[in-house]
Amino acid sequence: MNQFYRQQPQPRKHRIIRFALLIAIGALSYFLFQGIFPETTPSAQPPAVVGDEVNQENVFVIEKGEGVGVIAVHLEEREFISSAFWFKAYVLMKGLQGKVLAGTYILEKDWNLGKIVNVLSTGPLSNERVVTFLEGWTAKEMNEHVKTEEITTDESFITLVNNPGEIIQKYEFLEGVTQLEGFLFPDTYRIFKDAAVEDVIVRMLDEFDSRLTTEMRAEIKNQNREVYDVVIMASILEREVRTLEDRKKVTDLILRRIDAGIPLQMDSTVNYVTGKDTPAISLDDTRLNSPYNTYKYGGLPPGPISNPSIESLTAAIYPEDNPYWYFLNAKDGTTIFSKDFEEHKLNKSKYLR
């Protein structure tokens, strides 16, 4: 037999069968894909509600110029999707390249891939915006932020904070209060793009009202304390101490120093007046003639020095017994406690030099 021969062409019937098989596999893959990542309607975006509070973890921003590959990586890093590859594959399969739009989105981590792609290709919140106020910001800092966010271009925010008028009458916890510093709950909020300054402030007060639970209010009353004093203390804790555990200890320390007639000597209260943000104030600063100067005047300052987090509010309500009378913050932020002034001086030389 001749070892060199020409391969016979496959019958036409075989080629048709192979082609049909490929089509079947492709169709099966598509329908399986559709089953895993079903289509959803654009209603996946949250409803437009004025001032709805938003968890910062659910906010996803697509910057102008970002391609599908970059967006996919960011989504996977934020754990909104499990695979950047399948996101890109799905976008390609649906022909949505170039249709994933820049903007701010509210996403849920339990959404399937199809739902996320639908939302991102429908477009960002059209008549809403997301605004974040950081824990520990003062009203002045918030005032600058609302101008940066173009909610307003003037000083109407800080003006309303300092002169709230009838707003105070809406909230039981504001009884006897003349200004709103300390009660502007720091969080991420979803608001209408044309929301007024008063809408934003009212939403923050509503959030404070909901976070200060019935149990917390009962505990404040049980301790014969006032909500306003608790908020003042929480505002100091927010600026002075990092952890919940240490904040609870400092609350106990503050209460004991007040009872003993010992000045609090908190740098943060002086910084509130000077506008500085330094961990160690100067000797001249300690001589400042201001009721907020807790080196010169005893007891709590006359008002809050920041807008505290729920963690600081909790610590201010539930102090932890301890034997300490002094504390300082080391350069790495660790809080170091002392039982007496001699130990405090040693700790200063050890941790602040």
Predicted pLDDT of residue 10? 53
pLDDT by residue for the chain (353 residues), tens only, comes to 444 444 455 555 555 556 555 544 544 454 444 444 554 444 444 433 334 556 778 889 898 888 999 999 999 999 999 999 999 999 998 888 788 888 888 899 899 998 999 888 887 766 778 899 999 999 999 999 999 999 999 999 999 999 999 999 999 999 999 999 999 999 999 888 889 999 999 999 999 999 999 999 999 999 999 999 999 999 999 999 999 999 999 999 999 999 999 999 999 999 999 998 887 889 999 999 999 999 999 999 999 999 999 999 999 999 999 999 999 999 899 999 999 999 999 999 999 88
Measured between alpha carbons, how far is residue 330 from residues 280, 291, 337, 342, 346 in Å?
11, 27, 10, 17, 13
Predicted pLDDT of residue 249? 98
Predicted pLDDT of residue 183? 99
Residue 314 to residue 36: CA distance in whole angstroms = 43
Structural domains present in the chain: 42-126 (3.30.1490.480), 129-211 (no CATH), 222-322 (no CATH)
Please say whether the beta carbons of 190 and 125 come within 8 A. yes
Predicted pLDDT of residue 237? 98
Residue 61 three-state SS? strand
Phi, psi of 289 (to 5 degrees): -90, 85
Residue 252 to residue 322: CA distance in whole angstroms = 7
Alpha carbon of residue 132 to chain centroid: 6
Task: Give the single-character DSSP code of 167.
Answer: G
> Measured on CA atoms in the order 17, 18, 22, 25, is the torsion positive or negative?
positive
> Measured on CA atoms in the order 304, 310, 312, 316, is the torsion positive or negative?
positive
Residue 284 to residue 4: CA distance in whole angstroms = 104
Residue 287 to residue 265: CA distance in whole angstroms = 11
